[in-house]
């Protein structure tokens, strides 16, 4: 009997050529980047292939690991990094399409002209399945970063999904009067907040009104959004009530849709580090038809093995039909990527 297909929609690979190019030339803080590279399943082909082969029917869509391309250097430097990353991922897919049927491209978002060039090159020459962006552009909200408008317009026109990945570092303090984050809260909770805040900025600013067919894939089961549905549905139906009269510009909504409706346009994944209840909450909020299997591999114990198994079990125990579970494991993604082999 043919095994059930499982496609991991959000996992990371670090091509050696890209890593070496960045490590040799970038003056950015690369401590997390270097840590990731030394995970065997992140950068060593043999270890990665073994991981994939351990589960019959399992395949992966590849994307690079953080930090964002635009955080690696000046505008004149980052286009080369984006090209290294995208060509490295495309090479892996071309060499082994059975294990790795597609990749997600990256963009140098601090260089708008180069971003347009890379959008075309990655789509037309490298056949990227879509693009990965992060939850801010060097500290600027996505809805206030003009380059993002061009990315969304391209994605909508070419019917390509956008993968949204969180970004925050230890220099982002937990409290106003501190300089850094303690206990790695910047990651454990901060990345969930990053995704949630980015989604609300996009929803309230009218991005989903302007591009009603935009397909945005949110990492980590939509982060805090499913758990905040009540607050968003009834507590902030009209933002501004909690602001003084002279600061109402902070609540100028540019969307005609209820914020919940805009958020439900998004997709979510199952990369919850083993938390089945988060997968359940995401399925309730976004719907089983908008849930994609993912693991955030190779992060976690055993190069991501424990989290992969937990995600599979989390889907299997959802109180939904078997056909819906199969859709989460692969066919929802195939609907998003009709040319996927």
CATH number of the domain residue 318 falls in: 3.20.20.140
Task: Give the pLDDT score at 249.
Answer: 86
Q: 16 lies in a domain?
A: yes
pLDDT of 177: 95
Q: Is 341 part of any domain?
A: no
Strand order in the sheet with 216-218: 6-12, 58-63, 102-105, 130-134, 162-165, 216-218, 267-269, 291-292
Domain that holds residue 310: 6-336
Residues of the chain under the 70 pLDDT cut: 237
- Is the sign of the CA dihedral 104, 229, 208, 243 positive or negative? negative
In a domain, residue 245? The reply is: yes
Strand partners, 109: none
Q: pLDDT at position 252, please?
A: 86
Question: Is position 232 within any domain?
Answer: yes
The answer as to whether 258 is a domain residue is: yes
Would you put residue 17 in left (φ > 0), alpha (ψ -120 to 50) or beta?
Answer: alpha
Q: Do 301 and 244 contact (CB within 8 A), yes or no?
A: no
In a domain? residue 53: yes
Task: Report pLDDT for 114.
Answer: 98
Residue 1 within a domain: no
Which residues, 6 or more positions from 339, have their beta carbon under 8 angstroms from its beta carbon? none
Number of structural domains (the chain) is: 1
What pLDDT is stored for residue 239 in this prediction? 83
Q: Is residue 210 part of a domain?
A: yes
User: How many Å apart are CA 109 and CA 329, to the nearest integer?
Assistant: 31
Q: What is the pLDDT of residue 324?
A: 97
pTM of the model: 0.96
Alpha carbon distance 158, 160 (integer Å): 5
Q: What is the pLDDT of residue 169?
A: 92
């Amino acid at each position: 009997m043919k095994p059930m297909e499982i496609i991991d929609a959000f996992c990371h690979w670090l091509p050696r050529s890209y890593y070496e190019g960045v490590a040799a030339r970038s003056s950015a803080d690369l401590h997390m980047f270097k840590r990731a590279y030394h995970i065997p399943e992140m950068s060593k082909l043999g270890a990665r292939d073994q991981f994939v082969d351990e589960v019959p029917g399992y395949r992966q869509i590849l994307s690079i690991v953080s930090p964002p391309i635009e955080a690696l250097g000046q505008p004149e430097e980052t286009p080369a990094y984006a090209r290294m990353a995208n060509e490295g991922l495309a090479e892996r897919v071309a060499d082994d399409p059975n294990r790795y049927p597609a990749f997600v491209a990256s963009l140098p978002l601090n260089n708008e002209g180069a971003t347009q060039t890379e959008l075309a090159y990655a789509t037309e020459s490298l056949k990227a399945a879509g693009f990965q962006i992060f939850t801010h552009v060097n500290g600027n909200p996505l809805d206030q970063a003009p380059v993002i408008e061009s990315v969304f317009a391209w994605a909508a026109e070419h019917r390509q999904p956008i993968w949204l990945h969180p970004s925050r570092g230890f220099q982002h303090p937990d409290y106003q009067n501190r300089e850094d984050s303690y206990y790695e809260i910047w990651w454990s909770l901060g990345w969930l907040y990053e995704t949630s805040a980015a989604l609300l900025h996009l929803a309230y600013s009218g991005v989903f009104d302007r591009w009603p067919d935009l397909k945005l894939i949110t990492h980590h089961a939509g982060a805090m959004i499913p758990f905040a549905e009540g607050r968003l549905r009834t507590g902030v139906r009209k933002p501004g009530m909690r602001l003084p009269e002279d600061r109402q510009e902070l609540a100028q909504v540019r969307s005609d849709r209820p914020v919940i409706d805009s958020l439900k346009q998004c997709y979510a994944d199952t990369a919850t580090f083993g938390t089945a209840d988060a997968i359940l909450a995401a399925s309730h909020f976004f719907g089983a038809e908008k849930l994609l299997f993912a693991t955030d591999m190779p992060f976690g114990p055993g190069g991501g093995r424990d989290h992969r198994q937990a995600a599979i079990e989390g889907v299997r125990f959802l109180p939904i039909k078997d056909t819906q579970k199969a859709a989460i494991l692969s066919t929802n993604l195939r609907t998003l990527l009709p040319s996927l082999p």
